[in-house]
Amino acid sequence: MIEKIYENSFLVSDSTSASEVYLVVKEDKGQLFDNQALYDESEAFISSNINNISDLDVPKKVTYGLDLATRFNKQLNLRHHVFSSIITNYAIQLGTILLKLKELVKGRLKQNWEVWASQNIAFLKESRRQIYMRVAEFKSVRQYAFLSLGRLDRLIAAAKNIQSDDPIGEFFRTNGIKISFDESHYPIVPNDLLFTEMNLQIDTAIVLEKIKKMGIKSIEKENVKSLIRIKKKVDIQGLISNWKKNQDENLCLDDYLETTIANLGKPPQSAGKKSERIISLNRQIAVLKDTINHCINTNASITTLDKDSIMELKDALSSLIVLYENQKGEPF
- Provide the percentage of residues in the chain whose pLDDT is more than 90: 38
- Average pLDDT for 230-235: 80
Q: Are residues 12 and 105 in the same domain?
A: yes
Question: 130 with 199, same domain?
Answer: no
In this prediction, residue 192 has a pLDDT band, given cuts at 50, 70 and 90, of: low
Q: For 105-114, 165-174, 277-286, 287-296, which range has the lowest pLDDT when averaged over its residues? A: 277-286
pLDDT recorded at residue 275: 53
Residue 246 lies in a domain: no
Whether residue 122 sits in one domain with residue 9: yes
| 27 compared with 191, residue with greater pLDDT | 27
pLDDT-wise least confident of 93-107, 119-133, 208-222: 208-222
Regarding whether 119 and 14 lie in a shared domain, the answer is yes
Which of 186, 213, 240 terminates a domain? The answer is 213
* Distance from C-alpha of 156 to C-alpha of 162, rounded to nearest angstrom: 10
| Dihedral sign from CA coordinates of 269, 274, 280, 286 | positive
Domain end marker among 107, 137, 167: 137
Q: What pLDDT shows up at residue 279?
A: 59
The answer to whether 221 touches 175, Cβ cutoff 8 Å, is no
Confidence at residue 250, expressed as pLDDT on a 0 to 100 scale: 59
Q: Does residue 226 form part of some domain?
A: no
Phi and psi of 42, rounded to 5°? -65, -40
User: Do residues 132 and 28 both lie within one domain?
Assistant: yes
In a domain, 195, yes or no: yes
Q: What is the pLDDT of residue 248?
A: 46
Domain span at residue 165 reads 139-213
- Based on the fold, state whether residues 88 and 198 are members of the same structural domain: no
Is 227 inside any structural domain?
Answer: no
- The domain boundary residue, chosen from 99, 116, 137: 137
Q: Is residue 170 part of a domain?
A: yes
Same domain, 169 and 95: no
- Whether 97 has a pLDDT exceeding 70, the answer reads yes
- Are 147 and 82 in the same domain? no
The predicted model gives 30-57 an average pLDDT of 88
Residue 225 lies in a domain: no
Query: What is the pLDDT, as a whole number, of residue 130?
Result: 95
Region 184-199 average pLDDT: 75
Q: Read off the pLDDT band of 5 (50, 70, 90).
A: very low
Residue 117 inside a domain? The answer is yes
Name which of 35-39, 80-84, 257-261, 327-331 the model is least confident about.
327-331
Nearest Cα neighbor of 229 from 197, 191, 252 is 197
Write a three-state SS string for the chain. Answer: CHHHHHHHHHHHCCCCCHHHHHHHHHHCCCCCCCCHHHHHHHHHHHHCCHHHCCHHHHHHHHHHHHHHHHHHHHHHHHHHHHHHHHHHHHHHHHHHHHHHHHHHHHHCCCCCHHHHHHHHCCCCCHHHHHHHHHHHCCCCHHHHCCCCHHHHHHHHHHHCCCCCCCHHHHHHHHCCCCCEECCCCCEECCCCCCHHHHHHHHHHHHHHHHHHHCCCCCCCHHHHHHHHHHCCCCCHHHHHHHHHHCHHHCCCHHHHHHHHHHCCCCCCCCHHHHHHHHHHHHHHHHHHHHHHHHHHHCCCCCCCCCHHHHHHHHHHHHHHHHHHHHHHCCCC
Domain check: are 7 and 126 in the same one?
A: yes
Identity of the amino acid at 75: Q
Model pLDDT, residue 319: 82
pLDDT tops 60 at residue 272: no
Q: Is residue 269 part of a domain?
A: no
What mean pLDDT, rounded, does the chain reach? 83
Number of domains in the chain: 3
pLDDT in tens, 149-172: 999 999 999 999 999 999 999 999
Whether 169 and 133 map to the same domain: the answer is no
Same domain, 133 and 146: no
Q: Which amino acid is at 21?
A: V
Claim to verify: residue 122 and residue 145 sit in the same structural domain: no
pLDDT at 134: 96
| pLDDT of res. 8 | 39
The whole-number average pLDDT for the span 70-81 is 88
